[in-house]
């Protein structure tokens, strides 16, 4: 039996190794960013955003502090610190019958944290720069 998608996600986060993202994401996965207005669609694009997030949140201060699991979805609350800015957020994750993530939505607070994450993500996702 394959790992539960949230167990697989936690393993990737704990190892700080996003190499398993392609297998974990469905081909038609959708990513909702806290700083990009339109949904990002497709495994390749979603994986790129999540790889960039791995880099932005790669410090030792990132941790999940609460988890709410449903039959096909989860809410994972996290805390982190970037450049002295305390960040609180949630990952809303939904998966399909095959255990692949079909939707990943990130919400972040406070506003100062959103700005800091936006700056960091924009620097990584500049055209021509690989997000991994």
- The model's pLDDT over 5-40, given as tens digits with 9 standing for 90+, comes to 999 999 999 988 888 999 999 999 999 999 888 999
Cα dihedral: 115, 43, 57, 108 (round 10): 40
Predicted structure pTM score: 0.89
Average pLDDT, the chain: 90
- Domain 5-124 indexed as CATH 3.40.140.10: no
| DSSP of 39-70 | PEESHHHHHHHHHHHHHHT-STT-EEEEEEE-
Instruction: Indicate if the pLDDT at residue 44 is higher than 60.
Output: yes
* CB 9, CB 75: distance < 8 Å: no
Distance CA 125, CA 11 (A): 24
User: Exposed, middle or buried, 127 (CB in 10 Å: 0-12/13-18/19+)?
Assistant: exposed
Q: Could you give the strand order of the β-sheet that contains 25-32, starting from the edge strand earlier in sequence?
A: 40-41, 25-32, 101-109, 85-95, 73-82, 63-69
* Residue 127: pLDDT band with limits 50, 70, 90: low
Average pLDDT (104-115) is: 94
Q: For residues 102-108, give the mean pLDDT.
A: 97
pLDDT of residue 5: 96
């Amino acid at each position: 039996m394959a790992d539960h998608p949230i167990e697989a996600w936690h393993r990737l986060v704990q190892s700080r190794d996003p190499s398993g993202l392609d297998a974990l994401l469905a081909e038609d996965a959708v990513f909702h960013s806290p700083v990009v207005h339109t949904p990002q669609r497709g495994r390749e694009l979603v994986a790129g955003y999540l790889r960039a997030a791995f880099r932005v949140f790669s410090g030792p201060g990132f941790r999940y502090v609460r988890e709410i699991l449903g039959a096909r979805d989860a809410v994972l609350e996290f805390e982190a610190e970037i450049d002295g800015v305390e960040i609180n957020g949630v990952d809303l994750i939904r998966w399909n019958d095959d255990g692949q993530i079909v939707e990943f939505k990130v919400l972040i607070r406070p506003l100062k944290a959103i700005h800091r994450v936006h700056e960091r993500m924009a620097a990584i996702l500049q055209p021509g720069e690989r997000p991994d």
